[in-house]
Amino acid sequence: MAINKSRPKKPSKLSVYLYIPNIIGYVRVLMNVYAFAICFSNKQLFCILYFISFGNKIGCFYFGFSFVCDGIDGWAARKFNQVSTFGAVLDMITDRISTACLLVILSQVYRPGLTFVSLLALDIGSHWLQMYSTFLLGKASHKDVKDSTSWLFRAYYGNRMFMAYCCVACEVLYISLYLLAEKPTEHLMDVLMSLTKEISPFSILVGLSLFGWAIKQVVNVIQMKTAADICVLHDINKKERP
């Protein structure tokens, strides 16, 4: 008796767009749009929506409201076998844009605003270069940095808990600065110095966040330089070919 070995039916383009984890991604986008629409009129609600909608693919480590939706869409992708490249890209873009918008808001609230604009440029530039260099090397993930000469770079992407701490620290620091701003033209150093004058749970939280934030910025610089080197070496190798 012949056994029917027909190939599984390919999903349609529309069905991929309507994958459950991708729908969760669309909800995250809408939450972000609403959160930033009310960021100057309702700080508390903005913070809640921001932390619920924001996330990074950093394993199963979650902190408070942070990474909740990201954890749900990751679980749904595995549960319903609906892992997709589009979903991964949507998730990453949502994260990057969320942080970028928050940095833009901080650049309007604090002086010098160039500080936050520079952080925005570093974050986007380093991640874009890293993704492109990953494509040039033919790697499956931009987190595959086992061949890097930088121990900090390897530790960051190799240890999910360490990466989680650094990512959460950045978001907590930015949200804390957002909440601390009482007038439109606060000076950043004045606000940070005021926190050192008295020891409180909030000042300790900001201090712990500063350490993780600093590590992430160093990693971003290393990431940008490493990825740029890969792009340059790719050009050199192309010219050496007969």
* Active-site residue (options: 73, 91, 95, 123): 95
For residues 87 and 91, what is the distance between their CA atoms, to the nearest angstrom? 6
Verify whether residue 123 is a known catalytic residue. no
Max Cα-Cα span within the chain = 83
The 10 Å CB-count burial string (b at 16+, else e) for 152-170 is: ebeebbeeeebbbbbbbbb
Query: Please, which residues bridge with residue 132 across strands?
Result: none
- HSE-CB of 172 using CA atoms within 13 angstroms: 24
Nearest Cα neighbor of 173 from 120, 220, 214, 210 is 210
| CA within 13 Å, CB half, 234 | 13
Catalytic residue positions, numbered: 95
